[in-house]
Structure formats: C-alpha cells, structure tokens
Chains A and B, each alone.
Chain A
C-alpha cells in the first residue's frame, strides 16, 4: 500500500506539468491580455507598454511559461495585474472561505442524499419515491446560477430569512461560537446551491444502489438466518450499497472548486472561486493559473483519496 501510494503521488508530478502546459497554452491563446481591455483616455498608451514590459508580457510564450513555472515551484504565484498584490496573498486570504463552503456543502450533500435515497428505496415506485425523483430531476438539471438566484429571491428578498452575500455580518463583532454560527448562517444558501446537483444525483444513486443490493444472494442468506428485514437492511444491504458512494466522495472533492466559481460569484462570497471568476474577466493570468493549478491538484488528490477510501471500506480491494 505504501509503495502504491508513493507511486501514485509521483505520477502526479508529470500530470501537473502537463496540465500546467495546457492551461498556459489556453491562457495564451485567448485574445488580449490584462491591459488590452483598459481604455482610459487619461492614461498614455506607453504606460501599458511599460507595464507589459514590467510583467514580462512581451516575451515569447515559451519564455513566459518557464518564468512562470520557475516561480510557481518556488511558491511564487506572481503578482495580480488587477489587485497589484501577490496572488499567494489573495489566495491565502480567501481559501479558508472556500474550504468552509466546500465542507458545509459536502455535509449537506451526504446528510440529505443518503436518508432521501433510503426513503425512496424502502418504498420504490411509491408517491414519495416519485416525488423525490421529480425533485431530483429538477435539481439535477437546473444550472447552479439559476438555483442560486432563485434561492436568493425566495429566502433573501421575499422571506428575508438568509443573507445573500458575504461570509459574516459586517461589523457584527462576533467571536468564538457565535462567529461560527454567524458564518454558518451566511454559508447556508451558497452551500445548498453548490450541493444541489450532488444531493439530486446521490439520492438517486443511493436508491438504485440499495435496490440492487437487496436483490443479492447474500441478502437471502441473511434472511435465512432469521435476521429481520431491518437488521438485514442495516448490516448487509446498506454496507454494500454505500461503498460506491464513499469513492464518489473523493471524486466529488475535486469538482467542488469548479462549482464554487459560479456559486461564490452569485453570492459575492469572497473565496478563491470568486477570485478565479474575476481573474478570467480581467484576464489576470497569474490568478487564473494559480487557481487552476489548485483545482487540478484537488482533482488529482481527490482521485487518489477515492482509491484509498475504496481499499479501506471494501475488503476485496487491495493495492500492491
């Protein structure tokens, strides 16, 4: 297992290099740069030239890549053109918010999807099952910006229950537990928006996984032992049915950041997703590159985690 892990981690290095080359190429292929969008008549055109010189934008793309890569591995993510600040500072200011949002959305996903899937599987083809299927279908197919806007409209403007932006009450001066509660209060709508698709998808997944497990021979064996239906469900069916979900957890982790871009932007929630969105709008490529690389790394680590978790929960899986 240890050698397996080391091998897996080592193979991530060439993958990250490849990803960075592709990303860099895409950023270069996009027309314009950070300064081509700024038409300020008071500023002399030569100023932009000077800035391009300063940020190395006049160099050849290959040269630019190596400069970027050299700095990147040393932990230098470059200066944001827009913010005139080191990208690493921008990220470290915000990454905590994104992690908090991600964790809350994962908790929401699993604490809702599993029970809902179980309800459905207990009475398949019942009214409850069909209702949940319907909601899941809508939830799954609704774009998250629309879901976010609907939630804001409903819960913030009409019902005035939840705030629609920020991470905490401005000037609230909360500390400790009450700060946490205040942050939870702010994160609920974005977290729900972010988890809507996975809640919708996973509860269907849990349902069909349970229905499939119920058909298995070992369930009949367990019943033949005299175990009641509920014990068989708990001890035999659920354990088998939920194993694939645990591996999805790792894969899901990698996708969170992508979802956070839209969600954080809609809720003006200051995380790295929102930073990324700004970066794209402003063609601020040090930001785009840095956040993309973080995202790629979480995807790879998420995949690795998925494989590790699989081996932990399923005795049939062993890595050499």
Chain B
C-alpha cells in the first residue's frame, strides 16, 4: 500500500463559456498521505473549491477536467464512470461544505439525511442505519442523538449543522475527508469547537483530510502540510512549521502579514494590494507579479516554475531561481 492516498498530477480544470475557456485550475500537483492533513490555502477565487469538486467529480456542467490525473488509492478518478464515482463518493471520499445553513435539505429530517448515505453504501437495513446514525451523532457531540434524528435542519444552529455534516461525512468511514472552508461561516468560538471535533474524528477514523481554507489560523492549528494556491496554480508548498517560519513566496508572506496578530497592535491590518485576477484575464508572466512588491522585469515576462528550495519546500518564484543578469527592480 502506497503511502500516498491522493496524488493530483498536473490537474487542469477549465470552464467553457461563450466567451472562451476559463482556466480555473491550471495544472496543479499535490498529494495527501494517509492520515495526513493537508491545507489548501489562498484567497477567494484562487481555484480551491474547483480543485476539490474536481476530485469529487462534482464540477458544474460548464466545467471540465481537460488534463492531468487524480490518483486516489491507486486509481485514476478522472477515468472513472459516473456509476464508479457514485460508489466512491460519500463512501471512500466524503466532503463537507462551507455553508452549514444551506447544505442540508430543509424538508428532510436529520436522520433521513444521515441514514441515506449509510443505507446506500453499507447496504444495511433501516434499523441498522439508524443505529449507526445515532452512534455518529453521539460521536460528534449530540447527547440527545435520538431526538436529533427526527429534527429538521432549521431547528439546529449553524455549529450544530456543521456537526451533523461531519457525522454524515464520517458515517461510512471514508479514507479522505475534503473540508471546503468548514468553519468560515461560523462564530469564532464555534469554529474552535468544530476544528477540535475534526481533529478528534481524524484520529478516531484514521482519515486523511484535505482542508481548504483562507484562514492561516486554521492552517496552523490543523495542518501537517500546506499548499498555497494562487490564480489556479500552486505557488508554495511546505510542512506547516517550515511555512510559518520561512514563508518564501511573496504571496505567502503577504497572506501571513494580513493575519491579525494579538501581540503587535497594528493600526491598520495589512492587506495585499489588488485582487486575485479572474482566470479569464490572467496577466502575462508570474500571475502574482502585478500585486507583488518584489517583482522585477523578468516576473512580467515569463512564468517561474515550482522549484524545491529545501526538502519538502517548493516555491514558484524567480527570487529563488538564481539566474544571472537580473536585478531586482
């Protein structure tokens, strides 16, 4: 059994519209080991969600994987049929989403929604599925689990709904849990509880987690390894400690600086100037160059490759690619 549970190689996911193709994910490579938590970070619009939906095979109709492979547990998901993906989804790979308020069906009970996945994948009776659902609800912190089964989503708070989502996702004991901004929509105190719960669940089920977030606080607390994404590409990748100690890509540095810090009472919070370019109007050269304080001529002319600067630490930036005849601007 290989150590890598998930290996994405050169994945390109494009949208096709009347105005042409939109490269939302443009050749990313990443891997998640067994029992590892990998954080995928980047500002909104960088292609994080589209990456996760590509893995799940749940892209919107106008989106297509045009190149690359997604090897999960030794099998290429890109090649799988709908039926094969359905057997995998919610079974070997589960996913939880950002909006706990809208991610549950308002007209079905919590019980029905947890049980349907169990019945589908475990081929058990309703009674057994019910028992499993109760067990899962207790595990995620509902002491009165039996009652919750017959309640509807609107009767629960956002944090409780996210717990239900976790119970639902973990009920089939998946190998990989993809969590797309699982705490972004929650209050800070609830966020901490949900993160704690995810850690517990991960230990108990020995699951790997691909955690998508734009919150470096969450990354520091949860991740083993971090992948920084910018405009559809990976710009930096490192172990969590290494990354916080030596953020190397100017984009990563910018992200770090924009985290509010408790010690220094900054008058104004730093933020990277400008916005993430929309994938249909990407700049020439390095995609970050127009927002970068350290950019020089070369950055606007061509795009740097992802290069390893230390074991397990890779950066896509000319600053780390010594070549003669170039002066910082």
Residues on A facing B (Cβ under 8 Å): 216-218, 220-228, 235-236, 239-240, 243, 313-316
Contact = CB atoms under 8 A, between A and B. Distances in A.
Interface stretch (B104-112, B189-197, B256-264, B300-308): B104-112
Nearest to B58: A223
A115 B262 CA distance: 60
Interface of B: 56, 58, 82-83, 86-91, 94-95, 97, 99, 102-109, 116-117, 120-121, 152, 154, 165, 168
Contacts of B87: 226
A221 B154 contact: no
B107 A226 contact: no
Given A224-B90, A226-B91, A240 B58 contact: no
A43 B116 CA distance: 81
A224 B56 contact: yes
Given A239-B107, A243-B107, A315-B154, A225 B117 contact: yes
A217 B89 CA distance: 16
A316 B56 contact: no
A315 B89 contact: no
Given A217-B102, A225-B116, A239 B108 contact: yes
B103 A221 contact: yes
Nearest to A239: B107
Given A239-B105, A313-B107, 6 more contacts: A218-B102, A224-B56, A227-B86, A235-B116, A236-B105, A316-B107
Contacts of B106: 218, 240, 314-316
B88 A226 contact: yes
A236 B108 contact: yes
Nearest to A237: B105
A220 B165 CA distance: 13
A217 B103 contact: yes
A217 B87 CA distance: 21
Nearest to A243: B107
Contacts of A316: 106-107, 152, 154
Contacts of A228: 82-83, 86
Nearest to A215: B60
* Residue of A218, A225, A314 contacting most chain B CB atoms (<10 Å): A225
B97 to A, nearest CB: 6
Nearest to B112: A235
* Residue of B83, B120, B121 contacting most chain A CB atoms (<10 Å): B120
B58 A217 contact: no
Contacts of B116: 222, 225, 227, 235
25 contacts: A218-B103, A218-B105, A218-B106, A220-B58, A220-B97, A220-B103, A221-B97, A221-B103, A221-B165, A222-B105, A224-B89, A224-B95, A225-B90, A225-B117, A225-B168, A226-B87, A226-B88, A227-B86, A236-B108, A239-B105, A239-B108, A240-B106, A243-B107, A315-B109, A316-B152
B94 A224 contact: yes
A313 B152 CA distance: 13
Contacts of B99: 217
B104 A224 contact: no
Contacts of B121: 226
B120 A227 contact: yes
Nearest to A313: B107
A293 B117 CA distance: 53
Contacts of B102: 216-218
A108 B121 CA distance: 40
A227 B168 CA distance: 13
Contact of A224 (B58, B107, B109, B152): B58
A222 B106 CA distance: 12
Contacts of A239: 105, 107-108
A314 B107 contact: yes
A235 B87 CA distance: 18
Contacts of B56: 224
Contacts of B94: 224
A217 B49 CA distance: 13
B49 to A, nearest CB: 11
Contacts of B88: 226
A160 B103 CA distance: 55
A246 to B, nearest CB: 12
Given A217-B97, A316-B152, A225 B89 contact: yes
B283 to A, nearest CB: 32
Contacts of A221: 97, 103-105, 165, 168
Nearest to B168: A225
Contacts of A227: 86, 90, 116-117, 120
A313 B107 CA distance: 8
B105 A315 contact: no
A315 B104 CA distance: 13
Contacts of A236: 105, 108
Nearest to A220: B58
7 nearest interchain CB pairs? A226-B90, A225-B90, A226-B89, A225-B117, A217-B102, A218-B105, A315-B152
B321 to A, nearest CB: 40
A23 B136 CA distance: 62
Nearest to B121: A226
A67 B88 CA distance: 76
A313 B106 CA distance: 11
A236 B102 CA distance: 13
A318 to B, nearest CB: 10
